[in-house]
A and B are shown apart, each in its own frame.
Chain A
């Protein structure tokens, strides 16, 4: 059997975070009583005229800028004509030949499949286009889980007319896992820049996939199927895995793959044909005569760009300028979004960027790398890290002891306070107890004591080190030094 390669392209629908609908002033609020957020325009009453929501245009442009896209100097809305009960006008206002955004890409991090499985590869997924359109109403199917068995349907038009942004990727994705990672990263970015709340489970972010397989090395694409109903990040991966398995089995048994739309059955974990009436779709797109062109000028685009304060690149600059972190440290922190999220969570509790960064990088991340874990996988919360830093500052524990406490906390998931009190790692700040150790160290290191007394001042650090060792890291170095100097003077 020859080896196959998976080819996936995604079509993502993201509800834009606007207050009102795309072409009318109805609220977009989720969860209202059925058919209360409706008006003459979004229900397609005769003689009404749509009016474009400026914010929706701005959010689409913002997304385009964040995804390194081209903002088209001129774009046009078009009517897509079809009959369906959730579409009261019998056409959807969308964009066709002239979308608002073209080109662009999102870089994702995927596991490296080579020998070093811990490392990650950066991969660019190209964006074909982003266009604006309006959402349809919501169908409630009676008497069946899905559309197939139901006798009748109920329609709620509250969602009808909600601004949607459709993001179309190139067929650059090579595995179901990559598709899931792309969706997660895209959702993170959309939330990050505030254009969409990106909750797949609630339907504010939806994903359809075009999928095919082809022998490795072959240029032409295999017959594709379209997969729908993957309403969580996990289901994106699971659904695609099921569909890849189906394609592979069919190829192996010499069956022909039919181009069709399928859905992922989340109960049986396989894909099923939608069996929709296969009359060839003829949408008869034409420019929407009730709307004029969108032609964003340079000034407007730059104003929107200025609101993009929190892209990773900007974040790096902020870490350097605002928190005074060195560039290499800032880079490590922003490289993984879960790490920078964690860092910022810590900052929210206590504004000590340098200490937090230091403890995260040197200790927490080293531990994660060693165990091949993501920071999301561990129980150790930002609050705990701050607790640790505070204990060091108060002098309750020494830096050396703190490292051990931290490792224990990471490994056991216990909280810092408990570990400290159990282990007796509390710092010796009592002069009397330290005095004893200091005296002993002076007695046991006559050579160094002599050197110090003859003027070699740095030797004091060696003696401090000896005391630290004797105290098992529980002494406070500056106090030790002061005591040594006093004793030797």
Chain B
């Protein structure tokens, strides 16, 4: 199955070289081919699975616990102002 590698790269915000496009394009196509193979199976009587592990209702109680690493998280900001992450303007006109 042919994959539109340009579209995939664009959606993932990746800038790929021609060489990479060829390499990843082929790899992704192979994965899709395999999926296509699986789709030949008759699954009419099989409920769709969303998870590989047969588990359900895993919850935590609603309790607020302060995080100790907020400073480290802030350290990831490329630029900081007023304790906020500074980003370039979002919408191009």
Which A residues fall within an 8 A CB radius of B? 18-20, 25-29, 33-40, 43, 45, 51-57, 74, 76, 81, 83-85, 98, 139-141, 147-148, 150-157, 275-277, 282, 284, 287, 289, 291-296
Contact = CB atoms under 8 A, between A and B. Distances in A.
Nearest to B87: A85
**From B62, B66, B67, B74, residue with most partner A Cβ within 10 Å:** B62
Contacts of A45: 73
Contact of A140 (B67, B74, B84, B92): B84
A86 to B, nearest CB: 9
A39 B74 CA distance: 10
A40 B67 contact: yes
Contacts of A291: 51, 58
Given A139-B90, A277-B91, A51 B58 contact: yes
Contacts of B69: 39-40
B70 A39 contact: yes
11 contacts: A25-B67, A35-B74, A35-B85, A38-B67, A55-B62, A147-B89, A154-B84, A154-B86, A292-B58, A294-B57, A296-B57
A54 B58 CA distance: 9
B64 A26 contact: yes
Contacts of A39: 67, 69-70, 73
B4 to A, nearest CB: 11
A51 B55 CA distance: 14
Contacts of B58: 51-52, 291-292
Residue from B51, B82, B89 with most neighbouring chain A CB atoms (10 Å): B89
Nearest to A83: B13
Given A40-B67, A40-B73, A293-B51, A18 B62 contact: yes
A277 B92 contact: yes
Interface of B: 11, 13, 50-51, 53, 55-67, 69-70, 73-74, 76, 81-93
A72 to B, nearest CB: 13
A-B pairs, 5 with minimum CB distance: A39-B67, A55-B62, A54-B59, A287-B50, A154-B84
A156 B91 CA distance: 18
B65 A25 contact: yes
A29 B83 CA distance: 17
B90 A25 contact: no
A292 B51 contact: yes
B11 A282 contact: yes
Contacts of A98: 50
A51 B59 contact: yes
Contact of A34 (B57, B84, B92): B84
Nearest to A42: B67
Given A52-B58, A83-B13, A38 B73 contact: yes
Contacts of A35: 70, 73-74, 83-85
B87 A56 contact: no
Nearest to A59: B62
Residue of B53, B59, B76 with highest tally of chain A CB at under 10 A: B59
Contacts of A52: 58-60
B83 A27 contact: no
A158 to B, nearest CB: 10
Contact of A28 (B64, B66, B81): B64
Given A19-B62, A53-B59, A34 B82 contact: yes
B84 A151 contact: no
A195 to B, nearest CB: 13
Contacts of B51: 287, 289, 291-293
A45 B87 CA distance: 18
Nearest to B50: A287
A156 to B, nearest CB: 5
B91 A157 contact: no
A26 B66 CA distance: 6
Contacts of A83: 13
Contacts of B62: 18-20, 53-56
B57 to A, nearest CB: 6
Contact of A157 (B56, B57, B85, B93): B85
B81 A154 contact: yes
A153 B78 CA distance: 13
B14 to A, nearest CB: 12
